[in-house]
Structures are given as C-alpha cells and as structure tokens.
Amino acid sequence: MKTRAALFHAVGQPLEVVEIDLAEPRPHEVVVRMAAVGICGTDLHQVKGEFRRPTPMVLGHEGAGVVEEVGDAVTRVRSGDDVVLSWAPSCGECAGCRRGRPATCRVLNAAIPNGTLPDGTTGMSYGGETVYRGTATGCLAERVVVSEQVALPLAGAVPSDQAALLGCAVLTGVGAVLYAAGVEPGASVLVIGGGGVGQFVVQGARIAGAATIVLCDPVEGRLDAARAQGATHVVGPDELRGLMRAELPDGADYGFDAVGYPATTETALRATREGGTAVIVGLPPQGERLDLDPFELIRKEKRLTGTLYGSEDPAVALPVMLEHVRAGRLDLASSLGPSFPLDEVNAAVETSLAGEAGRVLVVP
Ligand SMILES: [Zn+2]
Ligand SMILES: [Zn+2]
C-alpha cells in the first residue's frame, strides 16, 4: 500500500512530501485515513535537532481520521469509524502496564526514541529504505497503519480538527491536572507555558475547580486565549514574580511546567508553595539536566514530579474528555490555529515554530 507522507530527513532541511510504502495491516491493525494532524512540541524538538532519533522519519502523533480498512482480528473498530490516535501503544505486560500506567510502558518508551512501533518494526519504507515513526505513530501522512489499540473511536462526538487535539495536547494537559496532580477544588495553580498543552492545563485546572489559575507566557495571543479558557491571571515572564507576590504570596498549590526547559521547571518549583506539588508536563531537549536546591524538597517539603500523556490509559481518559466536551466544560475550538494542506507542511512547521497561539494543523 502507498501513502503520501511528510518525511523529516535532517535538521535545517525542509520536510519532503513523498509517496512511501506501507506494509499491509496485520490481523490487529487498521488503516486510518488521516483527516487532521496537529504539530506538537515533540515534532518541533525533532525539527530543531533537540531530539536525536533515526531518520528518515514521518513525524506527527496527534491525529484524527477515519478507519478505512481493518485486519482480520480487529474487534474494537470498523471501517468508516471516526477515530483519534493515541500515541501510546503499550505492551500490556511490563511492570508499568500491569500497574495501569501504560504511558510508562518500558517497551513503548524504548520504541519511541528508536522511531519504531513497540515490536521494533515500522511498517514504512521509501525506495526500499526503512522509514521511522515519530512518537511510535508517524501520522503526518494521508494514511497510517496502526494497532487497533490506539485507534480510539469518537462516534461523531467532535469534528476532526478538534478531535486531533484530543490525541496529544488534551490528554496530556487536562490529564496532568486531573490524573497526575489531582488538583482539588479551590486550589491555586500556576501554569508556565501557554502553547497547545499549557492551554489545556489551564482548562483542566478550571474543570478541577481551581480558584486561582495563573498562566505565564511571553506570547500575547496565548495570554488572551488562556484568559478566555479560564485563567484568572495572565502574565509575561518578566512580570511573574510581581504577580505571584501580589496574588499568591505563599506560592501556588500546584506549579505546572508545560514547557519543559530546566529554567521553566526551576521557576515552577520555586513558585510552588511549601508542601505543594510541581509537575513537569513539557519535554526538555534531549540531554538537559536540572540544577535543584534539595532543600526545596526537604525543608519546604515540596514535591516535584513529571507526567507523560496525562498519566492515564488513553482509552480510559478519552471518554472522560469527551464527556467534558459534551457538557461544555472543555472547549477545543479555542485552541485551534491555522490549517495547512500536506503539501504546505513546511509552512505549518514554520508557523508553529513562530509561536502561533493556537494549535497548527495539517489537513492531509
Ligand atoms: Zn505531542
Ligand atoms: Zn508495557
């Protein structure tokens, strides 16, 4: 089977849209015709050379589409179903999986940096050469073949452009608040970074009933979006210290770092109150290290933790998110940015790199 796909070759080189070969779906796999694919920070890390993963690679792991064909043993979806892709096809058998933490799956977390599916294959090639998969998915293409485990049915709940956001930004951001941190009503929350994920951390905090939600980002458009999405205070990095002193002098109950750079993690931890919890949600460039004062954790009894993909099984979390959408608590449309056809994928990447307030989508 063939599909057109956007290939990443090397840093500084534009993505190349070419026709690649896809292996036929195996018994438990499905073919998904992609309808919308978000450009996520993880894709940008690869484009900027901050992750070293094998190439050529089809980026894209935040996508929604329609099931076009199913393998013989597929039971969860049928042809014609609209689905959102989860990028966490976990093994189901390792210690993390057995404890109900599929995002921590050892097999998955070995596969992602290797650019493969959990079984070590990619099922993609170009001119006979292996093509690798971004974040165990590689859906920046017209079609992708994935396990039925990761093609989660939407049953018409949301349009495809909004559905794409569910696949990474929503599960990651809202999940960080509801599942990883367990923010309680009345809490105070600081969110560093108002990009795709940060906006959904803000919405998650509002859904959880947080009383004070401070969003910090240098991009003006993102501050406006966050205010509309439930932030009670928005502020640029230079004004954060002053705002915290005025509004939350003891620090925030929860400090979320939706960026992931060491400096932003240190800011989130420093701005968290004694006994509070700082949560790293964004991914740092490969190889970065934190420089921490242990007394923040000892004498001040702060907790510092991280979360991957919202720390919940995507198949469990997705119906919860869809219910929040149905009830009007979770707004997807306000996080949408401009859309580009697959042939203009490089314009999509440039727009995203420039700090666009909404999620930039490719509509293959
Ligand atoms: Zn992502
Ligand atoms: Zn596992």
Would you say 80 and 90 are in contact if contact means Cβ atoms under 8 Å apart?
no
Distance CA 219, CA 196 (A): 13
| pLDDT tens-digit map of 43-64 | 999 999 999 999 999 999 999 9
Taking only the tens place, the pLDDT of each residue in 77-121 is 999 999 999 999 889 899 999 998 888 999 999 999 999 999 999
Under 8 Å between Cβ of 202 and 215: yes
Inform me whether the pLDDT recorded for 291 exceeds 90.
yes
pTM for the predicted model, two decimal places: 0.96
Ligand nearest to the CA of 87: 1
- Which ligand sits closest to the CA of 134? 1
- Counting ligands in written order, the one closest to the CA of 168 is 1
| Ligand 2 ion: Cβ-proximal residues, 5 Å cutoff | 90-91, 94, 97, 105, 107
DSSP state of 40: -
- What phi, psi does 101 have (nearest 5°)? -120, 70
* CA nearest to 232, candidates 200, 270, 203, 268: 203
DSSP state of 259: S
Computed over every residue of the chain, the mean pLDDT equals: 96
Q: Which long-range contacts (CB under 8 A, 24 or more apart) does 208-213 make?
A: 208/177, 208/178, 208/183, 208/184, 209/183, 209/184, 209/185, 210/183, 210/185, 210/186, 210/254, 211/185, 211/186, 211/187, 212/187, 212/188, 212/247, 212/248, 212/252, 213/188, 213/189
Tokens of 321: 């998110």
pLDDT at 141: 98
Identify the nearest ligand to the CA of 60 by its number.
1
Cα 168 to ligand 1 centroid, rounded to whole Å: 5
Domains of the chain: 2-158+332-363 (3.90.180.10), 170-309 (3.40.50.720)
Alpha-carbon torsion (138, 178, 260, 200), positive or negative: positive
Tell me the ligand closest to 44's alpha carbon.
1
Residue 120 C-alpha to ligand 2 middle, in angstroms? 14
In this prediction, residue 305 has a pLDDT band, given cuts at 50, 70 and 90, of very high
